[in-house]
C-alpha cells in the first residue's frame, strides 16, 4: 500500500480548492436563530406558559409540571417550523464531553394512529440508561438509572449537521438518589452559593442588589492541521497529540505567525464555524493566530457562567464538525506538538449584580470602591486559602504537558494584581489599625477611580506569566487547559469565593455587633485578609526558575503531576468546604476524585500503548529498511576493496541507526513490563502515580528521544509518519 503520509501530502494540494462559505452580511441577521430564546417563546407560547418559563429562566426553578405540556408543545412547533424531527436531552457527563440520545417526535397512539408528539414529561425529565457513564461507584450497576432534568437557565437550541436537525434540551444529569453525575449540577449549585453569600456582602454597600451572577469569558486556543495528515498519525487520532516528531527546522522562533494574516483555507474554516456558532447564539467576537505555527484562538463576549460553559462545549463540538467539511482537524489538546507552545483556555471571571455593576471593576465613588476592594480582597484570600484546590481543578493528563513548560503558567498558583493595586493594598495594610476611624482619609478618598488610567495601563500590559491575573475588571485564570470543561474550574472559583465571602460577613458582623462602625469593620477585616494572603501575590516572571525557589520559600504548593494534584479534592478542608456550601456531598466528591484518577490512568495508558505500538510498527520498519540499504552499500563498497573513507560515513550512520533501533525497542519492552506491573495495582491513586512515574516519566521522553533521532537519520522517502514541518506549515 502506498504510504499514507505521501498520499496525504499529495491530496493536500487539491484541498486548496476551499469549501465555499457564504458569510452572513450581518451577524445579527443569523444570531441566535437556532435558539429558543424568550423572544421566540413569546411568539410560540400562551401567556401563562410564557410567564412560567420566563420565571424559571430568571430563578433557575423547575418548570411547573402543569405547564410542561404547553411549553413542550410550543417548543415542538418552533422546532418543526425549522425542520426538526428529533429531540435530545443534552448534558455534560463526567467524560469531559457532551452527550445526546436522540428520540423522534414520532409516536404511535393506542389506536394505531401515527403522530408527532412532544410531551411535557419528555421536555422536563428523562431517564437515559446511564450505566455506561462514569459514576465513580455512585451507582451500583443494578441501579443503572440516572435522570436528566431540564435546566431552563440555558435555553433549548437546534443542532444542525449534514444529516439532520435535532432539538437539544440542556439538562443536568443526576443519579436516582440525587447525586450529581455531571459537571453542570455542581456548577449551578456553586452559582447559587456565590449568589447567596455575594448578595449578603454586597448589601453592606447597596441594598438594591438582590442577585449576583458569575460571568465567564473564555478564550479558546486550538491547533488546526490537515485532516489527511492527521489521519496518517495514529497518535493524533487516539490521543490528540503527537507522541513522536522531531522539531521542524523552523517553528515559532521567528515569531512570524502570532497575529499574522490568517491563511485563506483557515480563514474560510473560521468563517464557517463562526456562522454556525452565531446561529446557536454563541457570541464570538475575536479570532486570531496564536504563537505557535498552526495555532489559533477565538473568544466570545462574556456571558453568565452557566451559559458560557454550555457555549464553550457547543463551540468545540461545532468546530470539530465544521472542520471535517474543510478537510481539517482541530486539535484541542493542551500540548499536541513538543517544542512549540501548547494551548490553554483562559477563563476570564467576574461578578455582576442585577443592578448592572461589575463588582471587580473599580468604582467612581469611595463607597463603590470599598465594595470593589471588598470583593477584590475576598477573591485574593479565597485563592490563597484554596490554592491547592484551584490547581486540582485544572489537573488533567493533557494539561500536565503544558503547565510549567516555558510558555505556560506553572503549577504554582499565584495572583498578579499590578503595581497600582499592590500599592493600594500596602497602604491599607499600613494605615488601618488601632486608631482607624470612619473619618480616616484613606476611607474617605479611596481614590482608585482617579487612577483608573494608570490601573488599566498596569493591568492590560499585564503579566502574562501569571496563572491568575487581575486584568482591570476581571480575573483571568490562565492555567486552564484547552480541552477543559470550564465548569470544573469555575465551580471551584465560585465555591471558594462564596465560602470566603460567608466568613468575611461573619467577621464584619462580629465587629459591628461589638460596636464598630460598618466601614471601619469592613476595612479592618480587609486588612486582616491582605496580611493573611500576601504570600500568594506575585508580580514577577512566573516562568522563571527563581519563582519556583521563591514559591517554595513562601510555602506555596507546587504539584506538577495530576495524580497528586487531585488529592486537594479530598482533604478534610475540601470536603467541608464543598459540603457546607452544598456543592458536593462526601460521596459525590470521592466519586469525582475516583473518576478523575481513572481518567488519568486511561489516558496515560492509551498514550503508552500507542507509543509502543507506533514504535514497533511505524518507526522500526522503515528504520530497519534503511539500515539494510546502508548495510548492502557498505558491504558492496568493501567487497570492491575500496578505501574505508568511501563507506566510513555510511558506517557511522548505520551505527547510530542500529543503536537507536535497539535502544528504542528495548525501552518499549521495559515499558510494557512496567505497565503490567502498574495494572496489578488496585488502588486508583497509587495506580495513577505508578502510571505517572514508572511509565510516563520513566519512558515517554526516553523512547521519543531515539525515535526522533531516527527521524533525522532515516531516508525521508521511507518515513511513514507525517513530520512536524508538514503538519505545522502546510495549509
Residues in touch with ligand ADP (CB under 6 A): 215-217, 219, 299-302, 348-350, 358, 471, 473-474
**Which of 221, 226, 219, 218 lies closest to 323, judged by CA?**
226
Q: Which does 217 bind (CB under 5 to 8 A by kind): ligand ADP, Mg ion, none?
A: ligand ADP
Q: Which three cell numbers stand for residue 269?
A: 474554516
Q: Give the residue closest to Mg ion by C-beta.
A: 346
* Residue number with CB closer to ligand ADP (360 or 597): 360
* Residue number with CB closer to Mg ion (323 or 480): 480
* Residue number with CB closer to ligand ADP (175 or 347): 347
Q: Which does 67 bind (CB under 5 to 8 A by kind): ligand ADP, Mg ion, none?
A: none
- Residues with Cβ < 8 Å from 296, sequence gap 6 or more? 221, 222, 223, 224, 262, 266, 270, 287, 288, 289, 290
* Residue number with CB closer to ligand ADP (358 or 670): 358
CB of 653 to Mg ion, least distance (A): 47
> Does 346 participate in binding Mg ion (rule CB under 5 A)?
yes
Q: What's the maximum distance between 2 C-alpha atoms anywhere in the chain?
A: 105
* Residue number with CB closer to ligand ADP (380 or 530): 380
CB of 472 to ligand ADP, least distance (A): 7
Separation between Cα atoms, residue 191 and residue 202, nearest integer Å: 16
Stretch that binds Mg ion, among 339-347, 351-359, 542-550, 659-667 (CB under 5 A): 339-347
* Residue number with CB closer to ligand ADP (300 or 481): 300
Q: Which does 273 bind (CB under 5 to 8 A by kind): Mg ion, ligand ADP, none?
A: none
Separation between Cα atoms, residue 183 and residue 181, nearest integer Å: 7
* Residue number with CB closer to Mg ion (345 or 346): 346
Q: Which does 300 bind (CB under 5 to 8 A by kind): ligand ADP, Mg ion, none?
A: ligand ADP
Stretch that binds Mg ion, among 221-229, 288-296, 340-348, 494-502 (CB under 5 A): 340-348
Q: Which three cell numbers stand for residue 531?
A: 496580611
CB 671 within 8 A of CB 703: yes
* Residue number with CB closer to Mg ion (89 or 346): 346
DSSP lists the bridge partners of residue 99 as 91
Q: Which three cell numbers stand for residue 625?
A: 529498511
CA angle 314, 320, 323 (to 5 degrees): 135
The angle, 0 to 180 degrees and rounded to 10, between the axes of the packed helices 572-580 and 586-614 is 120
Q: Which does 489 bind (CB under 5 to 8 A by kind): ligand ADP, Mg ion, none?
A: none
Q: Whats the size of the chain, residue-wise?
A: 731
Q: Which does 536 bind (CB under 5 to 8 A by kind): ligand ADP, Mg ion, none?
A: none
> Does 345 participate in binding Mg ion (rule CB under 5 A)?
no
Stretch that binds Mg ion, among 60-68, 106-114, 338-346, 503-511 (CB under 5 A): 338-346
CB of 284 to Mg ion, least distance (A): 15
* Residue number with CB closer to ligand ADP (232 or 361): 361
CB of 350 to ligand ADP, least distance (A): 3
CB of 316 to ligand ADP, least distance (A): 15
Q: Which does 147 bind (CB under 5 to 8 A by kind): ligand ADP, Mg ion, none?
A: none
Q: Which three cell numbers stand for residue 2?
A: 502506498
CB of 219 to ligand ADP, least distance (A): 6
Torsion of CA 291, 296, 302, 305, to 10 degrees: -100
* Residue number with CB closer to ligand ADP (70 or 220): 220
CB of 464 to Mg ion, least distance (A): 8
* Residue number with CB closer to ligand ADP (107 or 473): 473
CB of 279 to ligand ADP, least distance (A): 20
**Which of 485, 193, 456, 212 lies closest to 332, judged by CA?**
485
Side-chain half-sphere exposure of 429, counting CA atoms within 13 A: 13
* Residue number with CB closer to Mg ion (466 or 485): 466
> Does 189 participate in binding Mg ion (rule CB under 5 A)?
no
Q: Which does 277 bind (CB under 5 to 8 A by kind): ligand ADP, Mg ion, none?
A: none
- Residues with Cβ < 8 Å from 225, sequence gap 6 or more? 236, 294, 328, 329, 331, 727, 728
**Which of 445, 450, 416 lies closest to 428, judged by CA?**
445
* Residue number with CB closer to Mg ion (66 or 301): 301
* Residue number with CB closer to ligand ADP (285 or 638): 285
Q: Which three cell numbers stand for residue 294?
A: 498552526
81-84 long-range contacts, Cβ below 8 Å, gap at least 24?
Answer: 82/34, 82/158, 82/165, 83/165, 84/158, 84/165, 84/166, 84/167
**Which of 594, 389, 374 lies closest to 491, judged by CA?**
389
Separation between Cα atoms, residue 205 and residue 79, nearest integer Å: 45
* Residue number with CB closer to ligand ADP (407 or 598): 407
CB of 215 to Mg ion, least distance (A): 15
Element (H, E) at 164: strand 164-175
CB of 310 to ligand ADP, least distance (A): 15
Size of the site for Mg ion (CB under 5 A): 1
Stretch that binds Mg ion, among 308-316, 345-353, 423-431, 497-505 (CB under 5 A): 345-353
Q: What are the C-alpha distances in Å from 63 to residues 49, 80, 120, 544?
A: 9, 22, 9, 53
Q: Which does 52 bind (CB under 5 to 8 A by kind): Mg ion, ligand ADP, none?
A: none
Separation between Cα atoms, residue 464 and residue 408, nearest integer Å: 9
CB of 352 to ligand ADP, least distance (A): 7
CB of 377 to Mg ion, least distance (A): 23
Phi then psi for residue 365, to 5 deg, are: -125, 160
Element (H, E) at 68: helix 65-81
Separation between Cα atoms, residue 258 and residue 293, nearest integer Å: 8
Q: Is 156 left (phi over 0), alpha (psi -120 to 50) or beta?
A: beta
CB of 225 to ligand ADP, least distance (A): 24
Q: Is 245 left (phi over 0), alpha (psi -120 to 50) or beta?
A: left
Helix, strand, or coil here: 142? coil
* DSSP 8-state assignment for residue 366: H
CB 332 within 8 A of CB 398: no
Stretch that binds Mg ion, among 238-246, 346-354, 454-462, 628-636 (CB under 5 A): 346-354
Q: What are the C-alpha distances in Å from 417 to residues 461, 528, 534?
A: 12, 18, 11
Stretch that binds Mg ion, among 158-166, 342-350, 366-374, 620-628 (CB under 5 A): 342-350
Q: Which does 455 bind (CB under 5 to 8 A by kind): Mg ion, ligand ADP, none?
A: none
Stretch that binds Mg ion, among 231-239, 344-352, 546-554, 663-671 (CB under 5 A): 344-352
CB of 474 to ligand ADP, least distance (A): 4
CB of 347 to ligand ADP, least distance (A): 8
Q: Which three cell numbers stand for residue 227?
A: 485532516
Contacting residues toward Mg ion, per CB under 5 A: 346
Amino acid at each position: 500500500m502506498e504510504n499514507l503520509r505521501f498520499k496525504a501530502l499529495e491530496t493536500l494540494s487539491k484541498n486548496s480548492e476551499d469549501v465555499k462559505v457564504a458569510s452572513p452580511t450581518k451577524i445579527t441577521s443569523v444570531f441566535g436563530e437556532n435558539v429558543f430564546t424568550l423572544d421566540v417563546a413569546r411568539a410560540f407560547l400562551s401567556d401563562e406558559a410564557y410567564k412560567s418559563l420566563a420565571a424559571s429562566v430568571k430563578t433557575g426553578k423547575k418548570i411547573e409540571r402543569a405547564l410542561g405540556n404547553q411549553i413542550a408543545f410550543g417548543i415542538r412547533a418552533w422546532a418543526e417550523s425549522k425542520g426538526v424531527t428529533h429531540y435530545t436531552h443534552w448534558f455534560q457527563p463526567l467524560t469531559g464531553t457532551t452527550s445526546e440520545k436522540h428520540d423522534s417526535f414520532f409516536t404511535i397512539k393506542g389506536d394505531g394512529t401515527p403522530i408527532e408528539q412532544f410531551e411535557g414529561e419528555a421536555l422536563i425529565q428523562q431517564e437515559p440508561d446511564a450505566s455506561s457513564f462514569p459514576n465513580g461507584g455512585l451507582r451500583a450497576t443494578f441501579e443503572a438509572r440516572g435522570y436528566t432534568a431540564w435546566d431552563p437557565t440555558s435555553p433549548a437550541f437546534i443542532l444542525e449537521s449534514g444529516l439532520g436537525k435535532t432539538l437539544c434540551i440542556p439538562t443536568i444529569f443526576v443519579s436516582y438518589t440525587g447525586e450529581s453525575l455531571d459537571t453542570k449540577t455542581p456548577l449551578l449549585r456553586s452559582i447559587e452559593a456565590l449568589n447567596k453569600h455575594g448578595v449578603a456582602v454586597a448589601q453592606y454597600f447597596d441594598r438594591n442588589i438582590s442577585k449576583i451572577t458569575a460571568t465567564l469569558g473564555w478564550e479558546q486556543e486550538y491547533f488546526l492541521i490537515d485532516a489527511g495528515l492527521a489521519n496518517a498519525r495514529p497518535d493524533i487520532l487516539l490521543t490528540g497529540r503527537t507522541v513522536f516528531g522531531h522539531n521542524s527546522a523552523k517553528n515559532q522562533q521567528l515569531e512570524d505567525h502570532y497575529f499574522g494574516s490568517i491563511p485563506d483555507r483557515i480563514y474560510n474554516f473560521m468563517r464557517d464555524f463562526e456562522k454556525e456558532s452565531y446561529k446557536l447564539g454563541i457570541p464570538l467576537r475575536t479570532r486570531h493566530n496564536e504563537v505557535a505555527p498552526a495555532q489559533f484562538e477565538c473568544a466570545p463576549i462574556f456571558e453568565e457562567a452557566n451559559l458560557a460553559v454550555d457555549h464553550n462545549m457547543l463551540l468545540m463540538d461545532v468546530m470539530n464538525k465544521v472542520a471535517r467539511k474543510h478537510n481539517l482537524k482541530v486539535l484541542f489538546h493542551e500540548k499536541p506538538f513538543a517544542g512549540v507552545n501548547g494551548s490553554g483556555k483562559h477563563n476570564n471571571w467576574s461578578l455582576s449584580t442585577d443592578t448592572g455593576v461589575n463588582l471587580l471593576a473599580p468604582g467612581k465613588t469611595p463607597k463603590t470602591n470599598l465594595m470593589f476592594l471588598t470583593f477584590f480582597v475576598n477573591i485574593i484570600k479565597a485563592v490563597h486559602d484554596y490554592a491547592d484546590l484551584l490547581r486540582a481543578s485544572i489537573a488533567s493528563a493533557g494539561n500536565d504537558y503544558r503547565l510549567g513548560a516555558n510558555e505556560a503558567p506553572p503549577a504554582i498558583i499565584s495572583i498578579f494584581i499590578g503595581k497600582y493595586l499592590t500599592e493600594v493594598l500596602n497602604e491599607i495594610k499600613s494605615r488601618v489599625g488601632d486608631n482607624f476611624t470612619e473619618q480616616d482619609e484613606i476611607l474617605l478618598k479611596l481614590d482608585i477611580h482617579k487612577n483608573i488610567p494608570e490601573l488599566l495601563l498596569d493591568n492590560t500590559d499585564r503579566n502574562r506569566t501569571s496563572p491568575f491575573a487581575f486584568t482591570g475588571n476581571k480575573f483571568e485564570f490562565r492555567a486552564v487547559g484547552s480541552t477543559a470543561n470550564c465548569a470544573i474550574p469555575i465551580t471551584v472559583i465560585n465555591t471558594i469565593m462564596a465560602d470566603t465571602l460567608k466568613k468575611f460577613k461573619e467577621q464584619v458582623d462580629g465587629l459591628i455587633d461589638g460596636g464598630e462602625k460598618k466601614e471601619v469593620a469592613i476595612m479592618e477585616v480587609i486588612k486582616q485578609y491582605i496580611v493573611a494572603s500576601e504570600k500568594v501575590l506575585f508580580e514577577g516572571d512566573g516562568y522563571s526558575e527563581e519563582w519556583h525557589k521563591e514559591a517554595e520559600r513562601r510555602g506555596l504548593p507546587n504539584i506538577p503531576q495530576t495524580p497528586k494534584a487531585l488529592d486537594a479534592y479530598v482533604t478534610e478542608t475540601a470536603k467541608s468546604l464543598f459540603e457546607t456550601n452544598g456543592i458536593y456531598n462526601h460521596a459525590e466528591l470521592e466519586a469525582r476524585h475516583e473518576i478523575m484518577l481513572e481518567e488519568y490512568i486511561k489516558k496515560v495508558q492509551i498514550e503508552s500503548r500507542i507509543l509502543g505500538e507506533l514504535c514497533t510498527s511505524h518507526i522500526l520498519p522503515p528504520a530497519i529498511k534503511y539500515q539494510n540499504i546502508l548495510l548492502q552499500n557498505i558491504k558492496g563498497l568493501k567487497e570492491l576493496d575500496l578505501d574505508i573513507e568511501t563507506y566510513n560515513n555510511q558506517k557511522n550512520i548505520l551505527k547510530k541507526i542500529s543503536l537507536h533501533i535497539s535502544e528504542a525497542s528495548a525501552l518499549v519492552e521495559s515499558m510494557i513490563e512496567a505497565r503490567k506491573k502498574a495494572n496489578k495495582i488496585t488502588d486508583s491513586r497509587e495506580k495513577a502515580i505508578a502510571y505517572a512515574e514508572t511509565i510516563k516519566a520513566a519512558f515517554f521522553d526516553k523512547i521519543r528521544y531515539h525515535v526522533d533521532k531516527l527521524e533525522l537519520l532515516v531516508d525521508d522517502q521511507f518515513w511513514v509518519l507525517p513530520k512536524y514541518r508538514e503538519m505545522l506549515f502546510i495549509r
